[in-house]
Structure 1
């Protein structure tokens, strides 16, 4: 199999950008505007825009365009410029390998290709930390999602993920999903944050929690997940200075959905 791959001649491109989200689009546009005539962007999804496509809230573009745009509107500005410049894109394409001498092996809908690049720009975004990454004990019922996965289900697939919700982590996506779930008719019981402060923007704390009466509990974390088939509830407890749970503060909260907004890991 490897011999068959090596027999496929490589196509040369001056600059290859891996990732068609905001960073990848901006990098490809910048390379083209700086005088590079041969730029290729590779994106694994069927459309460009990356995470912006599911971010239907506004607030994007305040610095770049001096106006508040939704995620898809913000992405569209860059995609339009990308198209105007005639930059090549390969959607639905997975990069299988990247060698030290910048040879990429890629697959597009089952077809295989080798690309020899003068330069490679990695703009692959990040993934969310999962329950496993923070070692929450308990069973593995349905109803436990990362906040971004829930956002994708709701905003792109039109799937409601739950009705009685708790959120662990008070970063911006957790705050935004607290509001989103509320607007779709769910009851958000509370947002829990292990730190003594929220890492979310003050405007999101106000607009996503305070405006909807959703409580934020600092110095608090999830200690157990209850339920086997479907999530039935969680146990939470306050934490000490070493971030270890204080057993006597533990309490049970019934819910059918737990969203995790506990940080990002670069791809």
Structure 2
């Protein structure tokens, strides 16, 4: 069997993987990037709307523009990209991966590994909705691919279940293509997407947003014909007497994303709130020399954050491969009151701290408290869909050594 060697192996060629490969290559090491699609870019390639790059590049770009910018920069460095490749098996301890590609099966040996496999959409089967099994039910990302990449119009009259950002963006996109979007149904009492997307994708196009409401049944003979919706109580149970039916030929699912960790969760520790890999602020996982970055760590709200974390993980993976790892003392990060998603789970004293926090519930105002660092940051109008980011220089982290942990809470 053919055997390849590389300094840093990056698995996944989306925003995190490309930024990681670029950062590692700039450190002077040899980098190999594996991507299951024929080209790199991941979901960016089908996100033709703008709003990307404002932090990472300090200018507004579309998804494909963001991807091409990273790809062009990678092309100027020592990065080998292997497209249409699949990791069949990986030994994370010995950094050995078995790979399948159109060129055949081969083995890759590396000194450091970065996993940037992104996220997958929550499937219809997990929602436990009653009814028939008609065609016309699909995740928002698939609908986006149909319209933006394949040039197919999957619907004439649609309902969107869930108010995640991809669903909101597709509500607008389908409307622009002449599809009647009957409404966006959200079981929570507040929307799940960014505020700007609520305004620009729904309000600007007068698309109804039905909060505290869910789909309880789908009906159709072959193709979807009707969707039954009901209001829900505080326990998300349908309220009797509130059900009604909407005519639609398509149900677009925007019920959330799940970090793609299944192929590695037996070897690497998982944060069961984030549902992704537990990593430090260097991106290193629970296995030495194995790093993770992007939406397989937690679901980020901005691709700029994903790319920034990939950049950091790539640099530290390269340093590890060179035998120049600067890993220092580490302490765990502990969730306090009102904190949901929280990245990272470990603080390494040799790297600056970048905290990403999702609230458990909306707040008109509040304060993020880093207890052991005697740090507070006030905010106004915080919602779970939008991350709060806190950046702190590593020189300010010294008090954590005496405390043995960092507690993050919101009041």
TM over 0.5: yes
Deviates more, 1:69-78 or 1:133-142: 133-142
* Deviations, residues 21-61 of structure 1 (Å, cap 9, x unaligned): 1000011111111232x110000100110000000000001
Distance 2:13 2:64 in 1: 13
| 2:32 paired with 1:56 | no
The alignment partner of 1:59 has SS state of: coil
Distance 1:244 1:223 in 2: 10
| 2:33 paired with 1:41 | yes
What is the 5 A alignment of 1:123-202?
A: 123-202=116-195
8 Å CA contact retained: 2:85, 2:99:
yes
Aligned to 2:292: none
How many Å apart are 1:11 and its aligned residue? 2.0
Gaps of 5+ in 1: 1-7
The alignment partner of 1:214 has SS state of: coil
| 2:88 paired with 1:83 | no
Aligned to 1:5: none
Aligned to 1:229: 222
How many Å apart are 1:10 and its aligned residue? 2.8
Corresponding residue pairs, total:
259
Aligned to 2:257: 264
Aligned to 2:89: 97
| Runs of 4+, deviation exceeding 6 Å | none
Aligned to 1:25: 18
| 2:212 paired with 1:219 | yes
Gaps of 5+ in 2: 261-411
Aligned to 2:199: 206
How many Å apart are 1:76 and its aligned residue? 0.8
Q: Report the RMSD for the aligned CA atoms in angstroms.
A: 1.0
- More helix by percentage: 1
Which residue of 98, 101, 108 maps to 2:101?
A: 108
Q: TM-score, normalised by structure 2?
A: 0.62
The alignment partner of 1:142 has SS state of: coil
Distance 1:225 1:240 in 2: 21
* Deviations, residues 160-205 of structure 1 (Å, cap 9, x unaligned): 0001010000011111000000000000000010001012111111
Deviates more, 1:100-109 or 1:155-164: 100-109
